[in-house]
Structure 1
Amino acid sequence: MKNNSSNNCEKVENTSSIKSFEDIPEAYQEYLETICLLSLNNEVGQNQEISNLAIANKMQIKPSSVSNMLKKLSSKKLIEWEPRTKKIKLTQLGEKLGRRIIINHLIIESFIENTLKITDPILSHKIACELEHHIKKPIYEAFKEHIDSNLMNALNVDLENKTNINIIKSKLSNLNMFPEFN
């Protein structure tokens, strides 16, 4: 499959210091992923505004910790946020990067379950959570080589259309993405 930077966010044009996926600290990635997931769990449509409290509850942390990170994400132009309004919305760049992290997670989780045959969903989810932030361009491209281009495009469309994450996961659950390892 050809590299399409609009789908995988390897190089992005913006005014912040974030130039590629690799430039984002893991802590920032966790927040982008959480905000993106919260918007996917809302109604289908435009990028939803998310509250500080919703992020804190999802991440099981204090709202004050969320506020500190939101300041950083806002300064990097990854979110739109006014501290007193309690409404957080991903920028176009933030949403692309959040989707990239989700795709990394789903690919790894599917590989663990379908190829490595690890049937414990809690374990596969935990491993995917740990690895999703470390998928650099060569590894991402290698995974993409084993994934049908229609599936990869469908993943991106589902994420763009704010399809509920459980529906996206169910589409991946029975895939045989890596037959040479079976």
Structure 2
Amino acid sequence: MSILPLFLLLDRPTSTQRAHFSLFHPYTSSNSSPSSLGTVIHVVGAPMLGFALEFKRSYSPAENGLQNNMTFIGKINTENLHIWTGEQGIDDVPRGKVEDLAAGIRPPGVSANFFAPLNDTTNRRCQEWTIEFVRKLVEVGYLDSEAVELVQSKRDPPSFGIGLRPVPGGQ
């Protein structure tokens, strides 16, 4: 049985914005450094438009400046992962058991009130979707329960980054 690490990637464009969450698994365990290629599993979108599931194939955290924003959350058996051998790209077609589980979790829809604090049920974004996905991975036995605590500890407070901010130089 071969295993690969699974990481939480955090991308925070500015200090006043909520962090974008995604999960990343490198394709090899002997080269599981941040410079390794792997697949990113996440939802993308906006509260006023809704979100969609996306897979980034042959992705490099180092090439995208995220090598210092990775948190190890567990190890996954390779029989549950799809190891992409094609070119770098983005798609929404799940491959492998882990990606099938991701596809079974509804991405956040259009928010009824995107100025309201976030929660796990009625006002969700990428962080809430990711924690639900990690809970599912724990539920089916692919990850240990500590993974939920690790991801939960990285979440922003419910009201952080919500609301309008003044435009620099605006009236």
Q: TM-score, normalised by structure 2?
A: 0.29
Please state which structure has a larger fraction of its residues in strand: 2
Q: TM-score, normalised by structure 1?
A: 0.28
Please state which structure has a larger fraction of its residues in helix: 1
